């Protein structure tokens, strides 16, 4: 772990990976916040367990290993006891994770503007009692400014910071996270997905995931499993599938799956602001990555 970059925020610390005993076949789901983490956990669970009936909350099957707001010893013990193929959640980029043979590393990207607005909705939905019980400062559930455009530019123009006194959710951090996967996308251990592609063709993307995980499934089975992972179906099961349900993290579990829509930033940014944002992205990512990050494969010309 000494040669890995350390990522630390008020809710996570990548150093906690040091005590995790990796097994062949493990799946590490590493995504920026609000880019489809729970969705990918659901898809991995469907394929690995070959059922939509998990019998327990998804967050127990696929815990957030390096979260400091949970009992790390209990999480490690739970993972050690699991007999099925393990699939573990993290928001740590690839350069902060042990990169081992026999492990599949899955990342999901999303248009950063959609991720930013989705994160704001999630923060607004956090229950104050859960924030207090986790030992987090009350201001984490409050926006830093009442002006949404000002908040957008604070997010967009902040510097990259692997260690942050807040959640560490900025445009620079998001782009860096995806870039650590993008630069190793030809490695057979890496599987890179995009939120827009999952929305456009969920069965097709589930088939891609099955291939990445070396899981055989018939087209009929893929269609059946994909039907359990639509946004509406997952929202119906929010009490089982939303992260943090065991800690009563949300005011409303269903509101964690608020809408799943894209493009709401168009109501916030005028053409001049979009141009300014585009220039900022160009400072953070090469052109090919920048285009893919905002469109996925299905939306590229």
The whole-angstrom separation of Cα 110 and Cα 89 is 17
pLDDT of residue 140: 63
pLDDT at 143: 63
Specify the CATH number of the domain 14-295.
Answer: 3.40.50.300
- The per-residue pLDDT for 262 is 81
Task: Decide if 255 contacts 124 (C-beta within 8 A).
Answer: no
Sorted by where each begins, the domain ranges of the chain are: 14-295
Return the pLDDT at 187: 98
Residues of the chain with pLDDT under 50: 301
> Which among 70, 54, 18, 87 has a CA at the least distance from the CA of 229?
54
Concatenated DSSP letters of 170-228: -HHHHHHHHHHHHTTTTSTTEEEEEHHHHHH-HHHHHHHHHHHTT----HHHHHHHHHT
Question: Is residue 88 helix, strand or coil?
Answer: strand
C-alpha dist (Å) from residue 190 to 30, 76, 132, 183, 186: 10, 23, 37, 10, 7
Which tokens go with 37? 């983490």
**pLDDT for the residue numbered 248:** 77
Q: pTM of the prediction?
A: 0.93
**Cα dihedral sign, 274-32-15-212:** negative
Q: Indicate which residues carry an active-site annotation.
A: 91
Going by the DSSP 8-state scheme, the letter that residue 12 receives in this structure is: B
**With b meaning 16 or more CB within 10 Å and e meaning fewer, what string describes 186-202?**
eeebbbbbbbbbbbeeb
């Amino acid at each position: 772990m000494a040669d890995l970059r350390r990522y630390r925020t008020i809710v996570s610390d990548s150093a906690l990976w040091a005590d995790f005993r990796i097994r062949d076949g493990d799946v590490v789901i590493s995504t920026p916040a609000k880019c489809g983490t729970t969705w990918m956990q659901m898809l991995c669970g469907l394929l690995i367990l070959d059922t939509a009936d998990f019998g327990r909350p998804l967050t127990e099957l696929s815990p957030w290993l390096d979260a400091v707001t949970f009992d790390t010893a209990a999480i490690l013990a739970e993972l050690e006891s699991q007999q099925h193929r393990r699939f573990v959640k993290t928001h740590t980029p690839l350069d902060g994770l042990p990169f081992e043979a026999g492990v599949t590393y899955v990342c999901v990207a999303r248009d950063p503007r959609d991720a930013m607005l989705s994160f704001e909705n999630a923060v607004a939905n956090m229950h104050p009692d859960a924030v207090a019980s986790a030992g987090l400062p009350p201001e984490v559930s409050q926006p830093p400014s009442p002006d949404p455009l000002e908040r957008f530019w604070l997010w967009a123009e902040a510097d990259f910071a692997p260690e942050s006194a807040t959640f560490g959710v900025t445009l620079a951090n998001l782009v860096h996270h995806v870039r650590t996967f993008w630069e190793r996308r030809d490695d057979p251990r890496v599987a890179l997905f995009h939120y827009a592609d999952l929305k456009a063709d969920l069965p097709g993307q589930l088939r891609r995931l099955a291939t990445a995980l070396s899981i055989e499934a018939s087209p009929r089975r893929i269609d059946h499993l994909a039907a359990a992972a639509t946004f509406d179906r997952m929202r119906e099961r929010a009490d089982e599938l939303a992260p943090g349900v065991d800690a009563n993290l949300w005011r409303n579990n269903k509101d964690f799956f608020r809408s799943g829509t894209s493009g709401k930033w168009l109501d916030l940014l005028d053409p001049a602001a979009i141009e300014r944002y585009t220039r900022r992205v160009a400072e953070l990512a090469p052109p090919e990555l920048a285009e893919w990050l905002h469109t996925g494969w299905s939306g590229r010309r």
